[in-house]
Amino acid sequence: MKISTKVQSRNNKTLSLEKVGIIYNVRHESAEEVANTLESVLKSRGFPDIAKYKVHGKKARSEVDSKIGLAFVVGGDGTFLGAARSFSPYGTPLFGINTGRLGFLSQLKPSCIETGIDKIINGDFVIDERLMIRNSAENEKEFHTALNDVVIKGGEISRTAQLFLYINNRHVCDYLADGLIISTPTGSTAYTLSAGGPVVVPEMEAFVIVPICPHSLTTRPIVIPADEKIEVKVKIDSEFISVTSDGQDSIKVDSQKTICISKNEYKARLITLKSDNNGFYGILREKLHWGISPHS
């Protein structure tokens, strides 16, 4: 059986199936077995070139081959986030098979692999582009990217800090808090949600700014356009502050330096299979029981 190596999505984007990759997290008990099953299904459907890559934990970075036209990610959302940071610079679409818990990003269940692959072959999917965020320290060329969020905290985990927020070079507000989360819409259902932030539809071009445990009765989350330039200055009795991307990629920055945050130049590309109940609101209801009465 041969397949077409070029497939058109339902939103008129071309997907190359000439070479595909399988990234799987061996820290998940069933991930290797699922990856092997996926490989067998792909071979039976006539995929010409399949590469497999192990990652040891969600913080590990996978190998990247820029020739891969589609990357299957077997694991949880943490594994997916790591793959997004690795593959998004090359414009590689990602498709998640969930062996974790919630699976907001990894939508397909292992039991539905054959059905899912057939939908991809038949073009019954869309390729969504998701906003990514980047951060860097003042006057430094190196930057870090995230699909979910950037979290700024003081050097000591339990230490409260003063954080000063600037947007487009204008002083907006001061926080006395455990830290500050700057989130994309994709990340609005992650750490931001736990900190009291709003749920934002993934297609929106916006950032959500939420303080962590603020010492204030008036502090509220704020949603701003993604084109705004954000700067955060921190005052703390410590030599460094911690800046973490997607809860995985953490760096220590001189506490005297300003953290600069902006929209990333490229976006993450996610493949979503089309069905009647897997839209964003359906996922909220299924994963978080959003909008469901206690009687349900």
Is domain 133-263 classified as CATH 2.60.200.30?
yes
Q: Per-residue confidence at 283, pLDDT binned at 50, 70, 90?
A: confident
The reported pLDDT for the residue numbered 62 is 66
pLDDT mean over 60-86: 89
Number of residues written out for the chain:
296
The reported pLDDT for the residue numbered 277 is 60
Spatial distance between the Cα atoms of 236 and 253, rounded to a whole number of angstroms: 12
The single residue of 49, 77, 128, 246 carrying the catalytic annotation is 77
Name residue 179's amino acid.
G
Domain ranges of the chain: 6-130+267-288, 133-263
pLDDT mean over 30-51: 95
The reported pLDDT for the residue numbered 97 is 95
- In this structure, the dihedral spanned by the alpha carbons of residues 209, 210, 211 and 214, taken in order and rounded to 10 degrees, is 130
pLDDT mean over 90-115: 89
pLDDT mean over 64-92: 93
Tokens encoding 89: 């610079």
Q: Per-residue confidence at 293, pLDDT binned at 50, 70, 90?
A: low
pLDDT mean over 277-286: 74
The reported pLDDT for the residue numbered 294 is 64
Contact 144, 249 (CB under 8 A): yes
Tokens encoding 252: 């220590």
Residue 256 makes CB contacts below 8 A (sequence gap 6+) with none
Spatial distance between the Cα atoms of 103 and 248, rounded to a whole number of angstroms: 17
Regarding predicted confidence, which is higher, 63 or 30? 30
What is the chain's mean pLDDT, rounded? 91
Which residue is listed with tokens 């700057």? Answer: 182
Which residue is listed with tokens 């700024």? Answer: 152
What is the CATH topology of the domain spanning 6-130+267-288? Rossmann fold (3.40.50)
Q: Per-residue confidence at 292, pLDDT binned at 50, 70, 90?
A: confident
The reported pLDDT for the residue numbered 151 is 97
Which residue is listed with tokens 């992650």? Answer: 190
pLDDT mean over 242-268: 95
pLDDT mean over 92-119: 90
pLDDT, one tens digit per residue, over 181-228 is 999 999 999 999 999 999 999 999 999 999 999 998 888 999 999 999
276 an active-site residue? Answer: no
The DSSP line for the chain is: ----SEEE-TTS-EEE-SSEEEEEETTSTTHHHHHHHHHHHHHHTT-S-EEEEEESSTTSPPP--TT-SEEEEEE-HHHHHHHHHHHGGGT--EEEEE-SSS-SS--B-GGGHHHHHHHHHTT-EEEEEE--EEEEETT-S--EEESSEEEEEESSTT--EEEEEEETTEEEEEEEESEEEEE-SGGGGTHHHHTTPPP--TTS-EEEEEEES-S-SS---EEEETTS-EEEEEE-SSSEEEEEETTTEEEEEETTSPEEEEE-SS-EEEEEE--TT-SHHHHHHHHH-TT--TT-
